[in-house]
Structure 1
Amino acid sequence: MIHADAVRALTAWTTDETGQQQLRHDYLAHLAEHQDGLWRSCRPAHITASALVVDPAAGRVLLTLHPKVGLWLQMGGHCEPGDETLAAAALREATEESGIPGLRLLPLDTEPAPVRLDRHQVRCAGKDQPENTHLDVQFLALAPADAREEISEESLDLRWFGFDALPELTDGSLRRLVELARKLVG
């Protein structure tokens, strides 16, 4: 079911950015070739789902200091068998990693939809295993006004940062995602 949803969500998603269009095409080709393309066991690549937690009223985002890569990132990770949709996987990950109940994904048109795609190399199978490619589908999660974060065991730290005050230990992908979030909710 999540495979069909991923194909549907990526087929419906549109963007004006050439690089993002190419990634969408690549993700759809991956799913056409791999019925198991959303699972961690699919090598050398698999789809992942993430969500940038945003507090629009305060103009800030919640980031996690990822223990494996040592960078401040959005919440996210691998799809699990109980996830029925990519959006559900992204929301589950954001809720688990932020500890914030009541998150909701930003709807585009009438339902939650991806806002960006990012392809990156990781060692999710262990230090002694070869790198994998994460084909990340990124959403925006809106925090309730009274949101109180709670650090999980999946993070070294968890902090709010203003749109204009991101920490140095981030990458270009996160910075582009935050800029897009600012345009969409700010």
Structure 2
Amino acid sequence: MTVTETSATALHTDAVRTLDGWRSADPEQERLRLDYLAHLAGQPDGLFRSCLPAHITASAVVVDPAAGRVLLTLHPKVGIWLQMGGHCEPGDPTLAAAALREATEESGIPDLVLLAPGGEPAPALLDRHLVRCTGRERPENTHLDVQYVAVAPPGAEALISEESLDLRWFDYDALPELTDHSLRALVARARELTA
């Protein structure tokens, strides 16, 4: 077994452990959790972009609770304001590490910390959505997104990356119109968890 295969197996094991241990009182979130676990049970490569028509992704909404603000990226492919996130990579040791890597790369903020109730980073929400991550001419596929909350140091300044059309802080109560229900739910959950 190669180093990459070993890393991928460890990431798969971590994703199953993470989702197996996470619970939600919301029936829809619980259904998603069980669907994600079923996906992973049937797909050894279920965390990677090559797994079609669906794969697990990891994201994190970046918040500055002291200032009551959230950092959003204007996504170039989707054209709306979203949290940071994307595809898992074979070198990611855990699902939480994948979310933190994506948030750090896309925000330019080096000292982000994932919320860790009980001492270990835990998902805030799950979201299933259709995307065209394999190209415009290709059929849509499904992202099974595991969403975390990343806390930025007070007064953190973001640095836009090539993965974004724009990057901007928004007050919790003044989210941009050009976003979706999933992002609004995630920001509300982040606000609740950091209050």
1:131 paired residue among 140, 146, 150: 140
AA partner of residue 99 (structure 1): G
C-alpha contact 2:64 2:155 (8 A) present in aligned 1: no
> Aligned with 1:109: secondary structure?
helix
Match status 1:145 vs 2:154? yes
C-alpha displacement of 1:182: 0.9
Residue of structure 2 in register with 1:68 after alignment:
77
Q: Which runs of 5+ in 2 are unaligned?
A: 1-9
Q: TM-score, normalised by structure 1?
A: 0.99
1:167 paired residue among 163, 169, 176: 176
> Aligned with 1:41: secondary structure?
coil
Q: For 1:42-121, list aligned pairs within 5 A.
A: 42-121=51-130
Greater fraction helix: 2
Q: Distance in 1 between matches of 2:115 and 2:179?
A: 23
> Aligned with 1:50: secondary structure?
strand
The alignment's C-alpha RMSD in Å is 0.5
Match status 1:176 vs 2:185? yes
Q: Distance in 2 between matches of 1:128 and 1:84?
A: 32
Deviations 1:71-97 (Å, cap 9, x if unpaired)? 100000000011010000000000000
Q: Distance in 1 between matches of 2:188 and 2:67?
A: 15
C-alpha displacement of 1:128: 1.1
Q: Distance in 1 between matches of 2:192 and 2:99?
A: 20
C-alpha contact 2:57 2:88 (8 A) present in aligned 1: yes
Q: Distance in 2 between matches of 1:183 and 1:102?
A: 22
Count of equivalent residues = 186
The share of aligned pairs that are identical, in percent, is 72
Q: Distance in 2 between matches of 1:2 and 1:31?
A: 11
